[in-house]
């Protein structure tokens, strides 16, 4: 799990969403324990856009 946390943090470091991210969760084969050596790691994130993004579409 630490590897996944490190991966997420590395990806967010250069992301414009890092300050708006409110939740992130893993899903897919890795989570359910049915992953194969060729399986990827799947994550979903929820972010809260700024007022400007919501109202002005920017």
Confidence at residue 38, expressed as pLDDT on a 0 to 100 scale:
93
Domain boundaries, the chain: 2-56
pLDDT by residue (tens digit) across 3-52?
778 888 887 787 776 678 888 888 999 889 999 999 988 889 898 888 88
pTM: 0.58
Virtual torsion, Cα 10, 14, 19, 25, nearest 10 deg: -40
Confidence at residue 24, expressed as pLDDT on a 0 to 100 scale:
86
Confidence at residue 1, expressed as pLDDT on a 0 to 100 scale:
59
Backbone angles phi, psi at 23, to 5 degrees: -160, 145
């Amino acid at each position: 799990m630490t590897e996944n946390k490190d991966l997420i943090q590395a990806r967010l470091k250069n992301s414009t969403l890092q300050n708006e991210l409110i939740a992130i969760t893993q899903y897919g084969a890795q989570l359910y324990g049915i992953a194969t050596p060729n399986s990827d790691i799947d994550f979903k994130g929820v972010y809260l856009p700024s007022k400007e993004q919501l109202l002005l579409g920017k």
